Homo-oligomer: A and B are copies of this chain.
């Protein structure tokens, strides 16, 4: 016992020093980038089956399954054969391709995965389509169409296609209005027309049926609509703790926004926008008895915000529960601190290291990843770097 005492006392003193170390304060953590995969063909989305086994949708390529350790990749067999051929217009980027991929929250039990893409119909054109299928190894089977946003048109813009499972187990889907020029709007603008499938956000059961508790847009409305007045929204994500849903939207000339999703809301396009219209010769018709929901945030310049996500990992403690928003046009990455539905602070990261980013997504263990929109597209992990002095 006596022999133990000095040892125990030393341990105690050692402990005290550690506690002092803890009280001395935290250290500065800086984000750095680590390329995990490359050679991805304009990747749009990633869905994790495990920490290292994931599905990646390549907008201009395939739906693939990757192993983040071995870097191996397999193209999934059985992708629907109505995926449009991607036609690169000379002056404008063709938005067509494969968009979101999600894994069912109960994938272990039911094997369902969900994906959105630009589907074609011969002689008519394309539109946004949402399908689910079961996944076994590298094969898809038992396909079910959940949503097809007819009409099929010759336009190849603004498909939307963002999808997320809400905290309520429902599937939320964004469908863009599918127009390039506002002057091509019909008399009642597409996104303002409850009988038109386009320009809407949907809330569906995982099997594509309509939940009983969806908002009521009237008997003429397209079934499943949850919100309207959407131009082109790709990013949609669930906020931790509140389960509120936030989505990003592209304006035409500026007008890029962050919105809070509310049942039955009308987000105003094209009647109101925080930016400007492309067609100076277009004036939206006056709509009676309509109230529009303003964005929580918009940028005064174009950033083209896309696949946003809330950060809940442990590697960046001071980012906890913040909203991470990637952008295409300026290669931006933003971090929003939100409290009570209000933006409190906004940080732009990697200012000197810009790259077109399509998606920010966490792995099951809370590691933060980005997908870049490039011919040689990359999966990049954001890793913490402790620094003492970085000047």
Binding site for B on A (CB under 8 A): 1-2, 4-5, 8-9, 11-12, 14-16, 18-19, 21-22, 25-30, 239-242, 300-301, 314, 317-321, 335, 337-340, 342-352, 389-391
Q: Is the Cβ of A26 less than 8 Å from the Cβ of B318? A: yes
- Residues of chain B with a CB closer than 8 A to A2's CB: 1
Q: How far is the CA of A340 from the CA of B389 in the complex (A)?
A: 11
Q: Is the Cβ of B321 less than 8 Å from the Cβ of A318? A: no
Q: How far is the CA of A14 from the CA of B12 in the complex (A)?
A: 10
Contact flag A347-B345 (CB < 8 Å), given A8-B12, A12-B11: yes
Q: Is the Cβ of B347 less than 8 Å from the Cβ of A351? A: no
Q: List 25 A-B contacts (CB under 8 A).
A: A1-B1, A1-B2, A8-B8, A11-B15, A12-B12, A14-B15, A15-B15, A15-B16, A18-B19, A21-B22, A25-B317, A26-B317, A28-B317, A29-B318, A239-B391, A240-B391, A321-B390, A335-B347, A338-B391, A340-B391, A342-B352, A344-B350, A344-B351, A345-B351, A346-B351
Q: Is the Cβ of A339 less than 8 Å from the Cβ of B390? A: yes
Residue of B nearest to A19 (CB): B18
Closest CB of chain B to A100's CB: distance in Å?
A: 25
Q: How far is the CA of A317 from the CA of B318 in the complex (A)?
A: 10
Residue of B nearest to A243 (CB): B391
14 more contacts with CB within 8 A, not counting A344-B351, A346-B351, are: A5-B8, A14-B15, A15-B18, A25-B317, A26-B29, A28-B319, A29-B318, A300-B300, A321-B390, A343-B352, A344-B349, A345-B349, A346-B347, A347-B347
